[in-house]
Amino acid sequence: AQSVTQLGSHVSVSEGALVLLRCNYSSSVPPYLFWYVQYPNQGLQLLLKYTSAATLVKGINGFEAEFKKSETSFHLTKPSAHMRDAAEYFCAVSPLRGNNRLAFGKGNQVVVIP
């Protein structure tokens, strides 16, 4: 079964500093990969997705992620953190075919320090 691993449940970053959230996937073939953001008491919002096109994917709110097959990784970055980036971030994987069910990581709670 496909799965993703996110390490470090809580991530603290200073305002203006680099945001780096790590995601490693487990799959026999390169799957579809996603990053979602969840604000308190809200549903999940798609930040960006990798669907076997460009390996560097740009998303909303200044986030981007790079797919590296050799490292089975899909890390999320943002050059400069804003206070509004404080939220929970989930990496997810889905198969190329079939029901496209998403398998999520445990998430990273990002805290932005003024």
Binding site for another protein (CB under 8 A): 9, 32, 34, 36, 41-46, 49, 51, 90, 92, 94, 99-107
Instruction: Return the number of the residue (10 or 16) whose C-beta is nearest another protein.
Output: 10
What's the closest the beta carbon of residue 45 comes to another protein, in angstroms?
7
By beta-carbon proximity to another protein, the closer residue of 17 and 104 is: 104
Token code pair at residue 90? 């989930």
CB of 68 vs another protein, minimal distance in Å: 20
Q: Determine the residue type at 87.
A: A
Q: Give the long-range contacts of residues 5-8, CB within 8 A, separation 24 or more.
A: 5/105, 6/90, 6/91, 6/105, 6/106, 6/107, 6/108, 8/108
The residue among 40 and 114 lying less far from another protein, judged by its C-beta, is 40
